[in-house]
Amino acid sequence: MSKAPVLLAGFILGAFAVGGVSLVAMTQALTSERIAANERAATLRNVAAIIPTERMDNDPLQDMIRVSDPDLLGSESTRVFRIRSGGEPLALVLDPVVPDGYAGPIKLLVSVLVDGSLGGVRVIAHRETPGLGDKIETAKSDWVLGFAGKSLGNPPPEQWSVKRDGGAFDQFAGATITPRAVVRAVKNTLRFVERNSETLYGKPATPVKPPDQGDS
C-alpha cells in the first residue's frame, strides 16, 4: 500500500489541529481584550459616580497605585486611583474589600475627597441575600448613597456603626450583618487615608504599609 495517502491524511489532520489551536488562541485574545475594555469602562463609570469629574483632568486608571493594609482595607492588595486637577489632588478612590459580609466578601469603591470627607461609596461585587443584604446595591435602595459627605468627624468615630449598635447608620429590616460590615469597612478606609494621605498622592515605589500605631 502506498504511504502517500497516509502521509497526506496526517498532513491534513496536522493542519486542522494547528488551525484549530490558532483559532482558539485568537478568539481568546479578542475575548480578553473585550473583557478588559468592558472592565475599564465599568470602573470609569463607577469612579465617575463618586468624584468631582467636572474638575478632573487626569486619567485615574493610569494614575493608580497599589497599597497593602489587610487590617484596614480587607485584602493584601488594594488599588488607589488618584484624582487630580492641574496636578493638585482632588480625591482618592480605593477598592477595599469587606471581608465579613453575611454571604462572603463584598467589594467596594470608596471615594475620599482631599478634605477627608467621602465623595461616595459604591458596591461593585457581592453575594448577599436577595431582598435583604442586597440593599447595599444602588439598584435596590439608596442606603449606600448616605455615605456621601460623611467623614471621621461626621459622625464622630464612636457613632460609625449601625443604629442597632448605638451608631448613626441605618440597618436593613431582617439584615444587620451586611450594613454593619460595610459601615466598618468604610470607616477603616477613611482611617487608612487619614494616616497615609500625603504618601498616597505621591508616587511610592513600593506598596504603602500601615503605620505602627494603635487605633484612633
Q: Which residue, among 177, 180, 199, 187, has the nearest Cα to 72 in the 3D structure?
A: 187
State the first-to-last Cα distance of the chain, in angstroms, to the nearest integer: 88
Q: Which residue, among 212, 196, 162, has the nearest Cα to 82 in the 3D structure?
A: 196
Q: Rounded to an integer, what distance in angstroms lies between the CA atom of residue 63 and that of residue 80?
A: 9
14-32 pLDDT, tens digit each: 666 666 666 766 666 667 7
Q: What is the dihedral of CA 16, 20, 22, 26, to 10 degrees?
A: 150
CB burial of residue 213 (10 Å; 0-12, 13-18, 19+): exposed
73-112 pLDDT, tens digit each: 999 999 999 999 888 899 999 999 999 998 999 999 999 9
Rounded to two decimals, the pTM is: 0.78
Least confident of 128-132, 145-149, 195-199, 206-210: 206-210
Residue type, 38: N
pLDDT score for 165: 95
The pLDDT of 53-66, averaged and rounded, is 88
In angstroms and rounded to an integer, the radius of gyration of the C-alpha atoms of the chain is 24
